[in-house]
Amino acid sequence: MNKRIAVLPGDGIGPEVMNGAVRVLQAISDCFDHEFSFEEGLIGGAAIDDCGQPLPESTLALCRESDAILLGAVGGPKWDSTSHAVRPEQGLLGLRKELGLFANLRPVTAYEPLIHASTLKKEVIENVDLLIVRELTGGLYFGKPSERRGENKELVVDTLVYNVYEIERVVEKAFQLAQKRRGILTSVDKANVLESSRMWREVVNRIAKKYPDVTVNHMLVDSASMQLIYRPEQFDVIVTENLFGDILSDEASMITGSLGMLPSASLRSDLVGLYEPVHGSAPDIAGENLANPLGMILSTALMLKFSFGLDKEAHIIEEAVMKVLNEGYHTGDLNLQHGKQVGTTEMVQKVIDAI
Amino acid sequence: MNKRIAVLPGDGIGPEVMNGAVRVLQAISDCFDHEFSFEEGLIGGAAIDDCGQPLPESTLALCRESDAILLGAVGGPKWDSTSHAVRPEQGLLGLRKELGLFANLRPVTAYEPLIHASTLKKEVIENVDLLIVRELTGGLYFGKPSERRGENKELVVDTLVYNVYEIERVVEKAFQLAQKRRGILTSVDKANVLESSRMWREVVNRIAKKYPDVTVNHMLVDSASMQLIYRPEQFDVIVTENLFGDILSDEASMITGSLGMLPSASLRSDLVGLYEPVHGSAPDIAGENLANPLGMILSTALMLKFSFGLDKEAHIIEEAVMKVLNEGYHTGDLNLQHGKQVGTTEMVQKVIDAI
Ligand SMILES: CC(C)[C@H](C(=O)O)[C@@H](O)C(=O)O
Ligand SMILES: CC(C)[C@H](C(=O)O)[C@@H](O)C(=O)O
């Protein structure tokens, strides 16, 4: 198989974890005789430093021509004081929007060897296997107006906008995913307050008729944030709008003991996708060989599965990660007394050895 | 002391827990020779059933004339299908807005006897003592437009609006509270995406100059939802906008093992306040003597403290609750193997006996 992969390391620990991911993919392509070509592009703060733009035209063009995109992380204090138009995050948000990657999949499973790293009790998390499907190109993230108003700019407005088709396509995706899993879909909204949530709920109920084999329930977002740590095993697929998904998926990451473990896939209707770890750029530990590369490595497994249909290869990466964790290796972000703490590059090498 | 208290039981388990709260206050007034007069008003679904309005004029008038308001809970499936204008929640939201109760205080502490009821590990929660200050009369909850648009109503819009003075007053309140506590204020926003959050952050930084003895830090809401269960003891006072506060306070309730334990106070600049448990109307267990009355009872303690300045009396209620919990009594919402499970009225009686 011949595939073009756009590689956007970004900021902070992005380059380190990306380097590991590319090495893992090279190991896979060697074993299976695939041709993966990797082309690097600038994004976020790194791009701002280079050309003043968080999402340069060349990067966007590269992504448009690629079969899949790998992204490390964007942002950092260095660019925090810059004006709105040139914030690193705008690079990532722009890319999601420009490529129309509306469905962000964030799987959360408890890894047996990491059970003790979680702040939640063993019996609460050991059977967790859930998937958050977050809408990624609408809502408060992109709604206009988003501005200051009034004579003295004393008023500020952000806008939560959804078009019904934007809700439909992500909800449809979530139903399809639930169908292939345990068949339970929880739609999260704030329908007792927001008009957009009431529309969201209507769409879910309408589409539910097409999927009689999927059990649907609705949950308010405040309740969901509680249930996620009260009885997380009740969830199979969770579908929700952009900002709610942002908040709930970071919270859910605590089930695995560390945000550093979580991969994500951002998809649209064809096979192109963007794959990035859920964690951020972690500027405080950047360049110190401390970052957990597993979120990024597991993201490449999602790429192989969703964009390239290489389920076997994806499975081999996931198994390799499990094996290394089972051997007790972990990075410092995981709060584990036992086992052997290793750095980023050692962790990557362990995974490659296990492949 | 002579005080007029408006009593709004509302829906579901509201009347049951309210009944307990009034009995506890009567016990206090007997002991201390206070005159508390209780006047009942309708709100939420109960009011809709009576007169078609979730917040009748008479209830609003009663609240305006009272020194403090006690509220049980509103809402339930019975009224879910009714149109937007007559939803039970509108009664509560309208009351908050009409009375200008902009600062919602939600304290969360780990209760020693309940440590094992939490899904979080003992060592994670045992030292938690935090206070969430949630903005209560602005943001997405009240912003206009909130409507469907387009030829086929295919577009939906909600609006997040803040006026700078609305941010200032709640942030000021949070600083004052932090000053009287451990002096640490965490402001939660989504400043990497929302313009309103950037204004929020500016206001916090500006007001911080007046409180050099308070340490301020800013945290993104996604990160906060993670940190709340990763290292909750890091927090002293958390201040945030309406919807973020709604989500984070329900999440934080899991530290105490049950939402049923949490009281809240909704304040403005004078001494008038509304006091309600954080839990909802729990229609599934309504009328079965199963509800946990402690969130409502602890809310009356907040009323005595904040609205009436009766710190000693408030303390006696809190101590009585602690004593009963220490004796092993608890309602069924608390997932405890040991101890003695009791019903709502027994729990209330235990607290009264302990006063
Ligand atoms: C960097 C930021 C804009 C982004 C988001 O909020 O979507 C991040 O938190 C994420 O979850 O991917
Ligand atoms: C009932 C509902 C409107 C309310 C809110 O969202 O504010 C409740 O969840 C709360 O937290 O008091």
Tens digits of residue pLDDT in B118-152: 999 999 999 999 999 999 999 999 999 999 999 99
Q: What are phi and psi of B186, to 5 degrees?
A: -110, 120
Tell me if A344 is assigned to some domain: yes
Please tell me which residue of chain B has the smallest CA distance to A79. Answer: B192
Distance A93 CA to ligand 1 centre (A): 8
Give the pLDDT of chain A (355 residues) as one tens digit per residue. Answer: 899 999 999 999 999 999 999 999 999 999 999 999 999 999 999 999 999 999 999 999 999 999 999 999 999 988 876 555 689 999 999 999 999 999 999 999 999 999 999 999 999 999 999 999 999 999 999 999 999 999 999 999 999 999 999 999 999 999 999 999 999 999 999 999 999 999 999 999 999 999 999 999 999 999 999 999 999 999 999 999 999 999 999 999 999 988 999 999 999 999 999 999 999 999 999 999 999 999 999 999 999 999 999 999 999 999 999 999 999 999 999 888 888 999 999 999 999 999 9
Query: How many beta-carbon pairs below 8 A join chains A and B?
Result: 153
**Which pair of tokens denotes residue A167?**
């809700």
State yes or no: is B50 an active-site residue. no
Domain boundary (B221, B256, B291) is at B256
Tell me if A200 is assigned to some domain: yes
Q: Which residues pair with B320 in a beta bridge?
A: none
Whole-structure pTM value:
0.96
Distance B321 CA to ligand 1 centre (A): 42
- Among A247, A262, A279, A334, most B C-beta atoms within 10 A, so best to mutate, is A247
Q: What are phi and psi of A218, to 5 degrees?
A: -105, 140
Distance A246 CA to ligand 1 centre (A): 7
Ligand (nearest to CA of B264): 2
Which residue segment(s) compose the domain that A215 sits in?
119-256
- Identify the residue whose tokens are 């499973």: A109
Tell me if B108 is assigned to some domain: no
Candidates A156, A192, A244; nearest CB to B162: A156
CB distance B140–A193 less than 8 Å?
yes
Tell me if B114 is assigned to some domain: no
Report the CATH number that the domain containing residue A184 is assigned in CATH. 3.40.718.10
Percentage of chain B beyond pLDDT 70 is 99
Question: How far apart are the two ends of chain B, measured CA to CA in Å?
Answer: 19
How far is Cα A134 from Cα A40, in angstroms, rounded to an integer?
Answer: 27
The closest of A276, A198, A178 to A241, measured between CA atoms, is A198
A39 lines ligand 2 (CB under 6 A): no
Same domain for B190 and B305, yes or no, is: no
In angstroms, the Cα distances linking B46 to A60, A89, B8, B10, B72 are 56, 47, 10, 6, 12
Contacts of B93 in chain A (CB under 8 A): 193
Tell me if B112 is assigned to some domain: no
Same domain for A250 and A204, yes or no, is: yes
B85 is in an annotated binding site: yes
Same domain for B232 and B269, yes or no, is: no
Contact A11, A89 (CB under 8 A): no
Write out the catalytic residue numbers of A.
Answer: 141, 190, 222, 246, 250
Contacts of B122 in chain A (CB under 8 A): none
What is the pLDDT, as a whole number, of residue B258? Answer: 87
B9 is in an annotated binding site: no
Same domain for B295 and B350, yes or no, is: yes
State yes or no: is B222 an active-site residue. yes
B222 is in an annotated binding site: yes
Please tell me which residue of chain A has the smallest CA distance to B155. Answer: A163
Distance B278 CA to ligand 2 centre (A): 8
How many alpha carbons fall within 13 Å on the CB side of residue A41? 28
Same domain for B193 and B313, yes or no, is: no
A307's CB contacts (< 8 A; 6+ apart) are A3, A67, A68, A271, A272, A273, A275
Percentage of chain B beyond pLDDT 90 is 92
A322: part of which helix (H) or strand (E)?
helix A311-326
Contacts of B136 in chain A (CB under 8 A): none
Longest dimension (CA), chain A: 65
Q: What are phi and psi of A264, to 5 degrees?
A: -150, 155
B89 lines ligand 2 (CB under 6 A): yes
CB distance A195–B157 less than 8 Å?
yes
Tell me if A288 is assigned to some domain: yes
User: Which of A100-114, A165-179, B71-85, B317-331 bottoms out in mean pLDDT, i.e. has the lowest?
Assistant: B71-85
Tell me if B107 is assigned to some domain: no
How many domains is chain A partitioned into structurally?
A: 2
In the structure, which protein residues have their CB atom closer than 6 angstroms to any atom of ligand 1? A 75, 89, 92-93, 246; B 192-193, 222
The DSSP result for B147-214, as a single string, is EEESTTS-EEEEEEEEEHHHHHHHHHHHHHHHHHTTSEEEEEE-TTT-HHHHHHHHHHHHHHTT-TTS
Same domain for A158 and A287, yes or no, is: no
**How buried is residue A185: exposed, middle or buried, by Cβ count under 10 Å (0-12/13-18/19+)?**
buried
The DSSP result for B254-275, as a single string, is GGGT-GGG-EEEEE-SSS-EEE
Closest CA–CA distance from residue A133 to any residue of chain B (Å): 16
A193 lines ligand 2 (CB under 6 A): yes
**How buried is residue A201: exposed, middle or buried, by Cβ count under 10 Å (0-12/13-18/19+)?**
middle
Same domain for A16 and A92, yes or no, is: yes
The closest residue, in CA terms, to atom 1 on ligand 2 is: B89
